[in-house]
């Protein structure tokens, strides 16, 4: 970018040059001029543009990496960090909790309901259980230090996981329990994404106004023998969490 010019550096100022560079980059990120995922020029190019040594530049970059504004990817360069959480749940059959753990994001889980229930008919049909049957209904709210990010309703076949209503899902993960404690082989899922207007109960849990747009995810999970084991409705706070896919053409 031609805007990264040495004109921004004031060699007579009481502020150290590396700090001036950090501050210049910080304001470009804040203004949106350098958006999330923007790749900075290579260090030699950037140092030359700024008229500073590579050592000075690296000191400025290190500060910003420590602040979490930049991240370096081996062999690819230095990028502006995204300010929203970006799980890859559209692309891999990982769960939100697994994606959070992989990205080092600390989440807390509040269990709002964990009980046996007669599921709504369309859900019974997708789970291939008879009407009037009983399945686990698990309602959880996941939050980060910025607030709630996702509200999850899961319906789980109890014939495949008897006694699962006794598990403490404040700490246990659902897939972890199904695979670990019950030895089930989760194999595949269909996930559908759409934008919805938040209904009052969803909005209240996610700290949004009723009617705000929320990312809705519907999922049916299947075992290796093709039996459906779990159905879920998930509402995601798009301002705090955006679903990302890194895709290859070939």
Minimum gap (Å) between residue 111 Cβ and a second copy: 24
Radius of gyration of the CA atoms of the chain, in A: 23
Binding-site member from 19, 125, 181, 200 for a second copy (CB under 8 A): 125
Binding-site member from 163, 197, 200, 210 for a second copy (CB under 8 A): 197
Question: Smallest Cα–Cα separation from 29: which of 54, 58, 65?
Answer: 65
| CB-based contacts of 128, cutoff 8 Å, min separation 6 | 227, 228
Binding-site member from 1, 16, 30, 181 for a second copy (CB under 8 A): 1
Report 130-189 residues binding a second copy (CB under 8 A). 130-132, 186-189
**Any idea which residue has 């996610």 for tokens?**
206
Residues touching a second copy: how many (CB under 8 A)?
A: 56
Minimum gap (Å) between residue 86 Cβ and a second copy: 7
Report 66-95 residues binding a second copy (CB under 8 A). 76, 86, 90-93
Report 34-63 residues binding a second copy (CB under 8 A). 34-35, 37-39
Report 94-123 residues binding a second copy (CB under 8 A). 121-122
Nearer to a second copy, 106 or 246 (CB): 246
Residue 226 sits in the site that holds a second copy (CB under 8 A): yes
Minimum gap (Å) between residue 142 Cβ and a second copy: 17
Angle at 157 between CA 94 and CA 229, to 5 degrees: 35
Nearer to a second copy, 58 or 191 (CB): 191
**Any idea which residue has 């030699």 for tokens?**
44
Cα 39 to Cα 1, 104, 247, distances in angstroms = 11, 22, 18
Minimum gap (Å) between residue 239 Cβ and a second copy: 8
DSSP 2-39: TTS-GGG--TTSSS-HHHHHHHHHHHHHHHTSS-TTPB
Could you tell me if 158 and 182 are in contact, meaning their C-beta atoms sit under 8 angstroms apart? Answer: no
Q: At what angle do helices 54-66 and 43-50 cross, to 10 degrees?
A: 110
Q: How far is the C-alpha of 105 from the C-alpha of 32, rounded, in Å?
A: 24
Residues counted in the chain: 250
Contact residues: a second copy, CB under 8 A: 1-3, 32-35, 37-39, 76, 86, 90-93, 121-122, 124-126, 128, 130-132, 186-197, 211-216, 220, 226, 236, 238, 242-250
């Amino acid at each position: 970018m031609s805007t990264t010019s040495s004109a921004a550096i004031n060699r007579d100022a009481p502020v150290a040059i590396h700090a001036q560079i950090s501050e210049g980059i910080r304001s470009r990120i804040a203004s949106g001029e350098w958006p999330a995922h923007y790749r900075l020029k290579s260090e030699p190019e950037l140092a030359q543009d700024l008229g500073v040594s590579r050592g000075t530049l690296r000191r400025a970059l290190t500060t910003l990496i420590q602040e979490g504004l930049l991240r370096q990817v081996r062999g690819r360069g230095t990028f502006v960090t995204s300010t929203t959480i970006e799980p890859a749940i559209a692309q891999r059959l990982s769960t939100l909790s697994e994606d959070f753990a992989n990205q080092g994001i600390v989440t807390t889980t509040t269990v709002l309901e964990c009980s046996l229930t007669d599921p709504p008919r369309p859900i019974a049909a997708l789970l291939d259980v008879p009407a009037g049957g009983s399945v686990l209904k698990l309602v959880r709210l996941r939050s980060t230090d910025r607030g709630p990010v996702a509200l999850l309703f899961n319906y789980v076949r109890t014939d495949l996981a008897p006694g699962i209503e006794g598990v403490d899902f404040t700490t246990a993960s659902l897939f972890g329990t199904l695979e670990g404690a019950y030895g089930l082989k989760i194999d595949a899922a269909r996930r559908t994404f759409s934008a919805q207007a938040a209904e009052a109960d969803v909005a209240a849990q996610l700290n949004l106004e009723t009617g705000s747009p929320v990312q809705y995810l519907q999922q049916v999970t299947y075992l290796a023998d093709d039996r459906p084991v779990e159905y879920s409705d998930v509402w995601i706070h798009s301002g705090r969490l955006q679903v990302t896919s890194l895709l290859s053409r070939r």
